[in-house]
Structure formats: C-alpha cells, structure tokens
Amino acid sequence: MDCQDAKEKLLESYDGALSPDDRRRLDSHLAACPECGEFNNLLNALDVSLREAIVLPQLSAGFRTALQAKIERHSRRLWLDWLPDAAYVVGSVAAIVYCVVLLPPPASVVLWIGTLTAAIGYSFQALLLGSLEEA
C-alpha cells in the first residue's frame, strides 16, 4: 500500500468499517510511515473537533403549541383569502342580473357581455395581484 492509498483508506475508515484485509495493510503502512501517521492524527483530531462542534440544539418546549397556533391561524387566513374572490363573484352576478333586468338589449346579449366583462376583470385583477405578490 502506498501513501496515496493509505490516505484514501484512512478517509474511508470514517464512513464505515474497512475490510479486515484493508485494515491490516493500512495499520502496517501507518506503523512504517510518519507522514501518513501524521495525517491519521490530523483526521482523528478533526473527528473529535467536529463531534464537539456539531451539537444539536433541542426544539423548544413550545414547538408543538406554536405549530398548532400557526396551523389554526393559517386555516382562518385561508378563508379570509377567499373573501375578496367571493365578494367579486357576488358583485358581478348582482350587476349582471341588474343589467339584464334594466337594459333594453336582449337579455342573452347582456348576459354574455356581462359574464365576459366580469371574467376579463377577474383575470386582470388576478394577474395584477400575482405580480404584486412576486414583487
């Protein structure tokens, strides 16, 4: 085993056990090579430092309560998010009915024009809101 192989095997050894044969060859190389021995010490020191440095903080005790509150807030907001759309649809239908009853042209023409205008207005509003949210 040369130094290059020994260093590769040393790096591999931290991610899983080496085969007994690789272990034996690596150990005999390390016993004879000060440079690889030094690399081994460096990797050991690094492993210890990483183990000490990477410590998981705990989730706070209020995690579940806060999550529950967030879910409830969001469920309410979902309903509120739909309100402007609902108001738009109700308003448009009321305006169309009003026009159908009051305007002289045939009801079907007024109905088509009213529906088309409402749909175009809604699409325009949705596009505008979308671009504002992205900004």
Partner 1 sequence: MMKDEDVDTLLRSRRYEDAFGLLLDRYQEKVFRLAFSVLKDAGRAEEVTQDIFLKLWQALPLYDGRASLSTWLYTIARNRCFSAFRREAIRNSPPIEACGEPARNETVSQRVEVRQLLERLPRLQQEAITLFYLEDESIQNVARILGLPEGTVKSHLHRARRALAEMMRS
- Residues at the site binding partner 1, with contacts judged by CB under 8 A: 11-12, 14-16, 39, 42-43, 45-46, 49-54, 56-57, 59-60, 63-64, 66-67, 70-71, 74
Contacts of 111 (CB under 8 A, 6+ apart): 96, 100
Can you read off the two tokens belonging to residue 92? Answer: 């448009």
Residue 15 Cβ, how far from partner 1 at the closest point, in Å? Answer: 5
Give the nearer residue to partner 1 in terms of CB position, either 23 or 77: 77
Least CB distance to partner 1 at residue 96 (A): 34
Residue 50 CB, shortest distance to partner 1, in Å, is: 6
Q: Which is nearer to partner 1, 45 or 129 (CB)?
A: 45
Q: How many CB atoms lie within 10 A of CB 8?
A: 13
Determine the Cα–Cα distance for residues 66 and 74; give it in Å rounded to an integer.
12
Nearer to partner 1 among residue 68 and residue 123 (C-beta): 68
> How many residues are given for the chain?
135
Q: Could you tell me how far CA 29 lies from the centroid of its own chain?
A: 47
